[in-house]
Amino acid sequence: MSNAEMMCDRVLAIAGVVQSAFLVQELARYGTIREGSALQSCIESLFVTNPETTREVYGGVAGVAIGLRLVRRHLGGTPESPSTSEDRERVRYFFSLLQLERRIRRLPHMLDHIGEGIELAHQQVRAFGVATHPTVIASLAELYLATVSTLGFRIQVQGNKTHLTHPQNVDLVRALLLAGVRSAVLLRQRGGRRWMLLLQRPALLEAAGQLLTSLTH
């Protein structure tokens, strides 16, 4: 695999983390997710456990198009286009998800527990025919609560209290955070590291641009 291909794989995984963070933010602030296909892509990524390619995890590049556009925004920020409070909040979620992946990686028993829970949820997907079925989302939320939430490091999701106390929204936030951790795991598997976001920013930006351009051809 060439360096350019490896960089594209890493950018796709970064976009997966960012897209999960974006959808959590949207749900917390507005009580709804307008991009149903982006939600489906994030949740379905949990069930692609033995992919042949990174693109397969998200059902193709289009599955993380929102994440790729946000990656380009965050990495290519300029004084003429300053970051907003939403941008900063999203970046905080992003790095928190990377931190959770780092902690989980040191706990093989938890990784096994998560793997078993995802397989059980996958059986429900097969039964209901859709990954975003409320029963599937509830199972993923319970799995997040029983594993990731016990690590002593929690992501403080900000937003409208009305939205954040609705049971189905709470389940969906947790399922999306689990999807974000899954993408963080994928990023590490593809050789991605936090320092690359600073030292390899131009290469990451170029890869994100190439991937987005591929969607228009």
pLDDT in tens, 74-118: 998 654 455 788 999 999 999 999 999 999 999 999 999 999 999
pTM: 0.95
CA quadruple 122, 126, 127, 129: dihedral sign: positive
The encoded tokens of residue 141 equal 């939320």
Domains of the chain plus CATH, in order, are 3-214 (1.10.3890.10)
pLDDT in tens, 18-32: 999 999 999 999 999
Q: Are 23 and 176 in contact (CB under 8 A)?
A: yes
Site of tokens 């991605």? 192
Cβ neighbours of 213 (radius 10 Å): 10
pLDDT in tens, 167-213: 999 999 999 999 999 999 999 999 998 888 888 999 999 999 999 99
